[in-house]
Amino acid sequence: MKKITIAIDGHSSCGKSTMAKELARQLGYIYVDTGAMYRAVTLYAIRHELFNLDGSINTQKLQEQMKDIHIHFELNEVTGLPETWLNEECVEQEIRSLEVSNHVSPIAALPFVRTAMVAQQQEMGKCKGVVMDGRDIGTVVFPDAELKVFVTASAEVRAQRRYAELQQKGMPADYADILRNVVERDYIDSHREVSPLKQAPDAILLDNSQMTIAEQNEWLIERFQEAVSKD
């Protein structure tokens, strides 16, 4: 069976990452964790002392060294999960450290870093057998992906899911505040200047407001089978 590139975009709190990981697992594809890529760049910057004492970034040196930062993902044969590799070293554990977490936001905000990461993401897509989720995967990163899915659900349903998730974790949660945040994030994502969230013309809409996870997974597999059967 031929391999394809799968792009999953959509609104926040729709469960995109969960469905993308599960789809990749079922297909034996690589799930590209775009957040992990920015964490890997951050780890590189820390290791090469590209953060100044005040926490700012030596952007000139980092930009000069971007050509030396290569990131890819490999499946762990034991766990069946994708792991992040930085310059031929598995750094899956290192990029989850608190130090990296505390420094990743300013790194991810740099335009030249985003440009470089999109280029690497596009390179991964050339090999096919990739599932990636985000806000602009089907419109910017993989505009030629064989299967594009745009996921949505009502703001109320997404807020309720987030509320239930926080409650299960024993964390404080207020439904009204969460709903307000969901609506605000939708507006910001859809109106940002760079790569705004929007459904690609050839993306298939998936409204999972009333779907179970099992029904959602079955729907995705059916769409995949349809995509690979096309000439």
H/E stretch holding 132: strand 130-134
Task: Please tell me the pTM assigned to this model.
Answer: 0.74
Cβ partners under 8 Å of residue 112, min gap 6: 59, 63, 66
- Residue 75, pLDDT score: 80
pLDDT tens per residue, the chain (231 residues)? 789 999 999 887 888 888 998 999 899 898 888 888 989 999 999 999 999 988 899 999 999 999 999 999 888 888 777 889 999 999 998 998 888 888 887 888 888 998 999 999 988 888 899 999 887 889 989 999 999 999 999 999 999 988 888 888 887 888 999 898 889 878 877 887 767 788 999 999 999 999 998 999 999 999 999 999 986
Do 142 and 122 form a contact (C-beta atoms < 8 A)?
yes
- Residue 147, pLDDT score: 96
User: Rounded to 5 degrees, what are φ and ψ at 53?
Assistant: -60, -30
User: Which residue has 């990131």 as its token pair?
Assistant: 71
Sheet holding 30-32: strands in order across? 30-32, 130-134, 5-10, 147-152, 204-207
Distance between CA atoms of 17 and 23, rounded to whole angstroms? 10
